[in-house]
Amino acid sequence: MKIVILDDVTMTAEQEERLRRFGELMIFTGVPTLPEEILSRARGAEILIASWTKINTSILKSLAQLKLISIWATGYDNVDVEAASRLGIRIAHVPGYATEAVAELCVGLMLAVVRRILPADRDVRREKQLNWNRFQGTELKGKFLGLLGTGEIGARVAEIARVFGMELIAYDPVPRQNLAERLQIEYLPLPEVLRKSDILSLHLPLAADTKGFFSVAEFARMKPGAVFINTARQAIVDQDALLGALQSGQIAAAGLDDIDLSRESGLLLLECEQVVFTPHIGFHTAEAIAKKTDSCFENVIRFIRGNPVNIVNPVSALTR
C-alpha cells in the first residue's frame, strides 16, 4: 500500500513510525499549487494524506490507484468530494480534535475584547506608565452570550461561559435539549438571539448553506453595542457587512480568528482598534495537533484494516 503525505503534516517520530508499518510511506512538505506538482507527488498513491492542498476533479481523475484521502483537518472543502464519490475515492476527516482549543480561544477573545487587554498592553509599553483610567472594561458575569451553533465547540464554550456566570441563549437548526437542560441554555429563533445577545459567538460549520450566512441583515438586528466573536471560518460572515457594522457603531467590537486579507475590507478591518485578531490559531495547540495527527493516521490504518471510520462521502455512492 503506497501512502503519500502530500503537504505539511505535523507528526512525531513515533507517529511516523506507526504509519510506516502499514505501507510504503512518502512524505512531502510545503503546499503544492500547480497540478503537475501535485500529481508528481501523488502519482501511484493508494492513500493520500493532505490538509492544505486543493484537490480538484482533474487531479482525482489522474490518480487511478487512489482509494482514500485522509484529510489532516476537520474541514474537507479543499477536495471535490462529489467527484471523489463518483470515482470511488473515500474521503476521511478528523472531527472534534480541537474542541477544547477553539473553545478556550473563543473565551480568550471575549476577555481580550471586553477588558481591552491589547490596547492596554500597548499603552503600558509605549507610555511606560500605568494609565489604568484609560481602559475601563466590562464584565462577562450576567451578560447574555448568544451561541450560533451548539455542536461540540459551541457546547464547550457554553460550559466555560456558565462558570463566568453568563446567561446562555442559542440558535441551532437542531436544538440539543439535553444540553439545554444541563447548562440552562434557552434556544430561541435567530432574530431573538441577535436582539438579546451582549456577546454573539459564531460556531457554525462552513458549508454551501452557511457561506455568507451572517450578513448585513443579521448585523442590523444585533443589539447596539454588542460584541461579535468568530472562531469559525471567515467565509460564514460577509466581511464587508462586518466592517460596516463596526464602522457605524452598530456593534462595539469583535474578536476574529479568521480574516480574508486579500480583500479591501480585510485590510480596513486591520485599522479598527476595537477588533482583536488571531491568525486562525483556534486549532493550534500542542494537545490538539497531537490528537489530530493520531486521528488522521488512525483513519488510514482503519481503512487498510477494512473497517474505515470518519468517512464523509457515503459508501453507497462509490463506484470504483
pLDDT in tens, 1-29: 999 999 999 999 999 999 999 999 999 99
Q: Please say if the pLDDT value at position 315 is more than 90.
A: no
- The per-residue pLDDT for 319 is 54
- Look-up of cell digits 499603552: 123
- Residue 230: which of 308, 301, 159, 146 has the closest Cα? 146
Give the model confidence (pLDDT) of 182-229 as tens digits: 999 999 999 999 999 999 999 998 888 999 999 999 999 999 999 999
Q: How is residue 167 written as a grid cell?
A: 446567561
Taking all residues of the chain, what is their mean pLDDT, rounded to a whole number? 96
pLDDT digits (tens, 9 = 90+) for 130-170: 999 999 999 999 999 999 999 999 999 999 999 999 999 99
Domains (range + CATH), the chain: 2-97+286-317 (3.40.50.720), 99-277 (3.40.50.720)
Q: Would you place residue 77 in the very low, low, confident or very high pLDDT band (cuts 50, 70, 90)?
A: confident
Residue 97 and residue 297 in contact, taking contact as beta carbons nearer than 8 Å: no
Query: Is pLDDT above 60 for 244?
Result: yes
* Contact (Cβ atoms closer than 8 angstroms) between residue 72 and residue 292: yes
pLDDT at position 216: 97
DSSP letters for 30-59: S---SHHHHHHHHTT-SEEEESS--B-HHH
Task: Kindly state the average pLDDT of the residues 269-274.
Answer: 96
pLDDT of residue 208: 86
Cβ 293 vs Cβ 27: under 8 Å: no
Asked whether the predicted pLDDT for residue 320 surpasses 80, the reply is no
**276, β-bridge pairs:** 255
* pLDDT of 318 above 60: no
In this predicted structure, what is the pLDDT of residue 165?
98
